[in-house]
């Protein structure tokens, strides 16, 4: 009888241990060689700040990477768009937290900031974020956020972007910079580019706007006093390139852009990365976090080092501008 009780107790203990552990993913048998499981399904929440080409490509690259690495049946995406609205963004992120997703992908700085404030437990990977130290108010940022946050940066060399203005519009004496003052990373880029240009003896005037309703008035003001205009990687501006182009092109004012999506909408040229590749790199990081291959608290922010000089052939032709041979036409990609 005692032996029978001992066997039953041992069986109950084994059952209890088997029922414990795991995350919100469906657990299965572990493959010791990869860290993956044979029937696990990871739940990933994706919040994109607003719809425009650069962010769209980053989301696509992220999803493609996870499907390529884990398999289409191993990951379930809850993809949401905040439509440039902070309240919607907060609701989306809070729903992810309530649903206990396994990982949050924060596409753009406002989403990263919202997610960071909402949870310190669920892994968060940012993408299309220019400077994490600025976005998260980290003094003396060394490249690793720590805690539950990491990701990828869309920062292209700002000094090289500023030099493009000098090279492509050599007669420019006055440069206007259009940007959304509510976007911390835009403010950072403006500071760097302005400092570089002023160091070269060029007068720089800032034309900030608080929301999309101000873009038309701000762009008109910039065109009146500028020989050239610079627009950083700015989500609000990227969503309003039609308005900007409708003012700058008739005024014959060339626009140098911080990324290819803005350049395609209203610019003559950009020094830019591939947002698809950036998103894909973020997806590769996510796969490592989900499978336990990497500890997110130790993951440094990653970059796409493959920057390319690109130009908008249509606008350049209309403005009578010929690009140097080392520039690639956007529509040639």
User: Is residue 27 in some structural domain?
Assistant: no
User: Is residue 224 in some structural domain?
Assistant: yes
pLDDT in tens, 20-37: 434 566 554 444 444 455
Q: How many domains does the chain have?
A: 2
Q: Dihedrals φ, ψ of 160, to 5°?
A: -70, -35
User: Is residue 210 in some structural domain?
Assistant: yes
pLDDT at residue 20, rounded to an integer: 40
If asked whether residues 111 and 249 sit together in one domain, one would say no
What DSSP designation does 37 have? B
If asked whether residues 280 and 147 sit together in one domain, one would say yes
What is the Cα–Cα distance from 206 to 218, expressed in whole angstroms? Answer: 10
And the tokens for 268?
A: 């003559």
Question: In which band, very low, low, confident or very high, does the pLDDT at 305 lie, cut at 50, 70 and 90?
Answer: confident
User: Is residue 4 in some structural domain?
Assistant: no
Question: In which band, very low, low, confident or very high, does the pLDDT at 309 lie, cut at 50, 70 and 90?
Answer: very high
Burial of 173 (0-12, 13-18, 19+ CB in 10 A): exposed
pLDDT at residue 22, rounded to an integer: 40
If asked whether residues 201 and 255 sit together in one domain, one would say yes
pLDDT in tens, 136-184: 999 999 999 999 999 999 998 999 999 999 999 999 999 999 999 999 9
User: Is residue 136 in some structural domain?
Assistant: yes
Question: In which band, very low, low, confident or very high, does the pLDDT at 38 lie, cut at 50, 70 and 90?
Answer: low
If asked whether residues 141 and 281 sit together in one domain, one would say yes
pTM confidence score: 0.80
If asked whether residues 148 and 162 sit together in one domain, one would say no
Rounded to 10 deg, the angle between the 109-118 and 184-199 helix axes is: 140
What is the Cα–Cα distance from 252 to 223, expressed in whole angstroms? Answer: 9
If asked whether residues 193 and 212 sit together in one domain, one would say yes
If asked whether residues 82 and 213 sit together in one domain, one would say no
Question: In which band, very low, low, confident or very high, does the pLDDT at 264 lie, cut at 50, 70 and 90?
Answer: very high
Q: Are 42 and 290 in contact (CB under 8 A)?
A: yes
If asked whether residues 72 and 174 sit together in one domain, one would say no
| CATH classification at residue 82 | 3.40.50.2300
User: Is residue 72 in some structural domain?
Assistant: yes
If asked whether residues 125 and 204 sit together in one domain, one would say no
If asked whether residues 200 and 282 sit together in one domain, one would say no
If asked whether residues 136 and 56 sit together in one domain, one would say yes
| CA nearest to 110, candidates 50, 51, 44, 154 | 50
User: Is residue 8 in some structural domain?
Assistant: no
Burial of 176 (0-12, 13-18, 19+ CB in 10 A): buried
């Amino acid at each position: 009888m005692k032996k029978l009780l001992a066997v039953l107790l041992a069986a109950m203990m084994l059952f209890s241990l088997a029922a414990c552990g795991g995350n919100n993913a469906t657990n299965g048998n572990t493959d010791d060689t990869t860290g993956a499981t044979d029937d696990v399904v990871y739940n990933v929440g994706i919040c994109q700040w607003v719809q425009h080409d650069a962010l769209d490509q980053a989301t696509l690259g992220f999803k493609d990477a996870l499907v390529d690495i884990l398999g289409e049946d191993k990951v379930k995406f809850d993809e949401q768009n905040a439509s440039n609205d902070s309240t919607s963004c907060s609701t989306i992120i809070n729903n992810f937290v309530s649903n206990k997703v396994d990982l949050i992908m924060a596409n753009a700085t406002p989403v990263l900031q919202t997610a960071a404030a909402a949870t310190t437990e669920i892994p968060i990977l940012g993408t299309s974020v220019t400077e994490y130290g600025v976005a998260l108010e980290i003094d003396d940022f060394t490249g690793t956020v720590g805690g539950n946050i990491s990701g990828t940066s869309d920062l292209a060399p700002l000094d090289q972007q500023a030099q493009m203005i000098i090279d492509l519009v050599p007669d420019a004496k006055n440069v206007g910079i259009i940007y959304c003052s509510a976007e911390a990373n835009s403010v950072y880029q403006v500071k760097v580019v302005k400092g570089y240009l002023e160091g070269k003896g060029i007068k720089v005037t800032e034309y900030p706007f608080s929301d999309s309703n101000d873009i038309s008035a701000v762009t008109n003001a910039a065109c009146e006093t500028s020989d050239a205009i610079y627009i950083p990687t700015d989500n609000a501006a990227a969503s309003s390139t039609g308005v900007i182009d409708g003012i700058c092109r008739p005024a014959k004012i060339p626009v140098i852009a911080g990324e290819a999506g803005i350049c395609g909408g209203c610019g003559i040229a950009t020094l830019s990365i591939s947002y698809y590749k950036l998103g894909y790199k973020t997806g590769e990081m996510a796969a490592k976090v989900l499978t336990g291959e990497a500890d997110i608290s130790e993951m440094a922010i990653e970059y796409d080092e493959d920057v390319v000089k690109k130009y908008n052939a249509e606008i350049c032709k209309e403005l009578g501008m010929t690009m140097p041979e080392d520039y690639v036409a956007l529509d040639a990609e």
